[in-house]
Amino acid sequence: QVQLVQSGAEVKKSGASVRVSCKASEHTSITYYMHWVRRAPGQGLEWMGIIDAYGGSTAYAQKFQGRLTMTTATSTGTVYMDLNGLTSEDTAVYFCARAPLKATALDFWGQGTLVTVSS
Partner 1 sequence: YVLSQPPSLAVAPGTTARVTCGGNNIGGYSVHWYQQKSGQAPVLVVYDDIKRPSGIPERFSGSNSGNTATLTISGVEAGDEADYYCQVWDGSGDPDYVFGSGTKVTVL
Assess 88 for contact with partner 1 (CB under 8 A).
no
Considering beta carbons, is residue 10 or 46 the nearer one to partner 1? 46
Considering beta carbons, is residue 80 or 94 the nearer one to partner 1? 94
110 beta partners: 4
Backbone phi, psi, residue 36, to 5°:
-120, 130
Please report how close the Cβ of residue 49 comes to partner 1 at its closest, in angstroms: 8
Please report how close the Cβ of residue 5 comes to partner 1 at its closest, in angstroms: 11
CA of 20: how far to CAs of 29, 78, 92, 104, in Å? 23, 10, 12, 23
Considering beta carbons, is residue 77 or 110 the nearer one to partner 1? 110
Parallel, antiparallel or unpaired: strands 18-24 and 78-83: antiparallel
- Give 48-54 contacts, CB < 8 A, sequence gap 24+: 48/81, 48/94, 49/81, 50/99, 50/102, 51/79, 52/102, 53/24, 53/77, 53/79
Assess 17 for contact with partner 1 (CB under 8 A).
no
Q: Which of 80, 110, 115, 117 binds partner 1 (CB under 8 A)?
A: 110
Assess 63 for contact with partner 1 (CB under 8 A).
yes
Assess 77 for contact with partner 1 (CB under 8 A).
no
Q: Which of 40, 46, 52, 54 binds partner 1 (CB under 8 A)?
A: 46
Assess 107 for contact with partner 1 (CB under 8 A).
yes
